[in-house]
Each structure stands twice: as structure tokens, then as C-alpha cells.
Amino acid sequence: MTTLDQSFVTNGTFKADLFKGKVVFITGGAGTICRVQAEAMVLLGANAAILGRNQEKTEKAAREIEALRPGARVVACSNCDVREVTQIKEAVDRVVAELGRIDFVIAGAAGNFLSDFNHLSSNAFKSVIGIDLLGSFNTVKACYDQLKKNKGAILFVSATLHYYGVPFQVHVGAAKAGVDALSNALAVELGPLGVRSNCIAPGAIAGTEGFDRLTRGVDLKKQIPLQRYGTTRDIAEATVFLFSPAGTYITGTTQVVDGAQWHMGFKYGEDIYPVGLTKMLNEPSKL
């Protein structure tokens, strides 16, 4: 089911056909946040390619996104693991053959779960680093020639978890800190080619897989200065801005979209931290 519709264009901030003739390439494009990023770009005139490992989910999402705008084309690249750069390169070649070009890249494939350090295995840590950080590197690597040719723009989907110490998120915090560093370095290296690189860092975005998994039903709104959860549309709006002509001099930055939550710190209930964590750390360690 799509989240956005034509009202995003008719009643929104951005004009129709803003991205006409452009193509956006999105890893994790069938997921909750990246899917709405794809919807926004397509509604505003772009064609798109979404990558995912689940064939049924990816192809279904592509059909639904394509139906948002008459004449839109959305390519589903399924069974694609971002940890394998050759698989992404095959997808890139297919997209260029079918859609003609790639102008924008969103590296959004990610993995996350709650785990304390004691129960976080080395393989689990490696898996998250592989999907989030190595996958982001591989995505840009595979798209490099198209980005250079079209003076394109990159947007990494990061987080705020590494801005301060967040328990149960060692793996994700380390991965996203690497993503931020990758984006900053690429902004400097690729800037002379006319290629821009930025991050977007969502906060508590309601209705997403990560939100449901991480909050576990705890009401966090009182911890957010704006006193509400974010929406996927909030992320879509920021994405469009950074890719639009309004953002052509913005590179090497991280756009935090979290209602200023990270300034408050993340507070678990006492039964989770520190009491619950202390119990878990005293259990036998998992390698």
C-alpha cells in the first residue's frame, strides 16, 4: 500500500515534474522509509529503480509506486544483496539499459535489532556493518560512473544513534557512524566532479519497521521537543529538498529529521536500563 498520493503534488510544497527525465536508484526501496522516498520522487516526475532481497515484496512495491503517476516507470531489482557489489552492478546495468540513466542514489538498505553487547555475537555485528556500511559503499561504487556522468547526488540513510551512547544499539551506532564518515569523505572527493553527498538521519518515525521493533510500545513523544513522532512524509520532504535545485550547494552534511529528539538523549524505562541491562550483562557471553 502506498503512503503518498497525488495530493503530495497538488497540495504540497514542490512543483510537479520537478524531477522529470531523472532516475533515482534506491537500495531498500521496498522498506517503509525508502519506499516513501521513492514515492515522492516518482510523484514529482522521476523514474525509479528499487532494490531488495525479497522478490515478491520488491516487485509488488514497484508496481504500486509506478501506479502513482501516469507514465512512470519503476524497475524492481529483487534478489539483490547489497553486501555483494557485483549484484548491485548488475542491477545498475539493467536500470541504465531500461531507464537510460541514474541521477540520484539513495543508499537505504539497513538491518537493525535490539541486543546488548553481551548477547551480540560477532557474526551479528558483522552482518549489520555489512548491510549498512559496506552496502552503502558498494551502492555508490556500482553507481559511480552514472553519478560522474550525470553530476548526480547521493543520499545515505543514517541515524542519530551514534551521537551519544545508546544501549542495545552498539552495532547500528558503529555502522551509521561509518556511513556518516563515508558520506563526508565522498562529498570532498567527488565534489570536483559535481557530485554531491549527504546523509539524512531519521528519528522516531512512526509506522516504520525500525520504530515498532525498537520502541516496543514505549511512548517516547514526551522525549521529543516537538511532542510528536515523525512521519515517513517528513523524510520524503527532506529527501526531495536535498535532491532538488534548492539543494545544489549543499553537500557533506547530515540532515537530522527527528524533532530535536537527539538533543534530549534516549531514555529507556528503568526496567530496561540500567536494571535490565545489568542482568543481561551478568549472563554468559555469546560469541
Question: Which of 93, 89, 39 minimizes the C-alpha distance to 66?
Answer: 39
| Cβ partners under 8 Å of residue 62, min gap 6 | 29, 30, 50, 74, 75, 76
Cell numbers at 73, concatenated? 516507470
Catalytic residue among 78, 115, 136, 158: 158
Give first-to-last CA distance, the chain, whole Å: 40
CB atoms within 10 A of CB 225: 11
CA 48 to CA 283: how far, in whole Å?
Answer: 48
Question: What is the helix (H) or strand (E) element at residue 90, kind and residue range?
Answer: helix 85-99
The CA distances from residue 225 to 123, 159, 229, 268, in Å, are 37, 18, 10, 17
For the question of residue 286 being annotated catalytic, the response is no
| Cβ partners under 8 Å of residue 17, min gap 6 | 44, 45
CB 144 within 8 A of CB 93: no
- Where do we find the cell 551519544? 164
Catalytic residue among 176, 183, 222, 244: 176
Question: Which of 40, 72, 59 minimizes the C-alpha distance to 233?
Answer: 40
For the question of residue 176 being annotated catalytic, the response is yes
DSSP states of 170-218 as a string? HHHHHHHHHHHHHHHHHHHHHGGGT-EEEEEEE-SBTTSHHHHHHHTT-
Beta pairing partners, 76: 50
Beta pairing partners, 199: 156, 254
Please give the positions annotated as active site: 158, 176
